[in-house]
Each structure stands twice: as C-alpha cells, then as structure tokens.
Amino acid sequence: MRAFKIPRWTKRNFYRKNIILCGDALGTVMPVSFEGIYYAMKSGQFASEAIKQNDLALYEKLWNERFGKQFLIMKKFQDFMFGNDKRIDKWLNIHRNPHIQELAMALWLRKEKGNKLIPLYVKAFGGIISRIALTQVKINM
C-alpha cells in the first residue's frame, strides 16, 4: 500500500526572489475538507495575474482577498475540532444530520465569491464547541 501526503495550510512565503509557489507547494489545501484541486488552480490563476502585472506581491494580496478569511476560519475550526479523538468523533457524528450533510456538500460544490457557507458550517457546531469549552473551564477550575 502507498500513502500520499496532503499538505496542511500554514502561513508560508508565496514567492521568494523569482520563484513562485502554487498549489501543494504552497499548501493551498482547505482545512477540514482537505480539498486542494480547486485552490491549486486558483493559486495558479492569481500567480499568473501577478506575473502579467510584474508585481509578485499582488499574488498574496489576491489570494488573501479571496480566501484569506475562509482559510483562517477553517484552520481555527480544524485545530479545535480535530484536537483529539473524542472531538473528531463528535465532528463525524454530527454529519449524520441531513442538514449538516447538505451544508458540507454545498461547501464542496459551491465556491462562488461571497457565499456565506463556511461561517454557516462552523456555526452549526456552535453548540458542541461551547459545551466542550464549558467542560474545559470546569476541569480547569
């Protein structure tokens, strides 16, 4: 059996001197869903725009304008929700709910600019997150 690593999104340099990183080389994989194809293609599009305009800093700017907030929200959500096996089980179990399944499918299939699907998806876990946070406060008291 062979395994292939999917990179995690972390803050990296988008370019160095005359080398530009796109897709997996930059780690443009959406946290939680681990989708990399769409975002690799978008990073290529933004990089080519920056090259055309002879302004490599534009690449990161275009990326952040379009995806910066979405990746940040999902990264924070992932760090919390995938923090231990118990939480991962809770994350999996909530996907038995048809409403959450629909929301997760929409996240995969609908990428148009300005849709509010990511905040909606994260909000659906609000109850679980606050229950875990409350338990932690009690344990730490």
Ligand X SMILES: Cc1cc2nc3c(=O)[nH]c(=O)nc-3n(C[C@H](O)[C@H](O)[C@H](O)COP(=O)(O)OP(=O)(O)OC[C@H]3O[C@@H](n4cnc5c(N)ncnc54)[C@H](O)[C@@H]3O)c2cc1C
Binding site for ligand X (CB under 6 A): 4, 6, 23-25, 29, 35-38, 40
d(CA 37, CA 31): 13
Q: Which is nearer to ligand X, 43 or 132 (CB)?
A: 43
How far from 131 is each of 121, 125, 128, 134, 135, CA to CA, in Å? 17, 10, 5, 5, 6
Q: Which is nearer to ligand X, 109 or 139 (CB)?
A: 109
- Please identify the residue of the shown chain whose CB is closest to the bound ligand X: 36
> Least distance in Å: CB of 74 to ligand X?
14
Q: Which is nearer to ligand X, 42 or 132 (CB)?
A: 42
CA angle 132/104/134 to nearest 5° reads: 10
